[in-house]
A = this chain, B = another copy of it.
């Protein structure tokens, strides 16, 4: 087997990048969809507050997006920065 140490490190880093982004996409995806669903429910009860509710939903989703962005950053670092 002629896998050098550098090859092994690079391969594991790329596998880690896939795991980071794959699992990291689960949480924000569910959480933001939940926020969107609850916003629909609330707008369905009070359509006159649609603007306020949409703003609140987007602020909350932006916070929920954070862990997804961390995952993306870690995946990009593992792919392009780590040698």
**Interface positions of A (Cβ within 8 A of B):** 1, 3, 22-23, 26-27, 29, 31, 33
Contact = CB atoms under 8 A, between A and B. Distances in A.
Contacts of A33: 31
Contact of A1 (B1, B23, B26): B1
Nearest to A26: B27
Contacts of A26: 27
Contact of A29 (B1, B3, B27): B27
A26 B27 CA distance: 8
Contacts of A1: 1, 3
A21 to B, nearest CB: 12
A3 B9 CA distance: 13
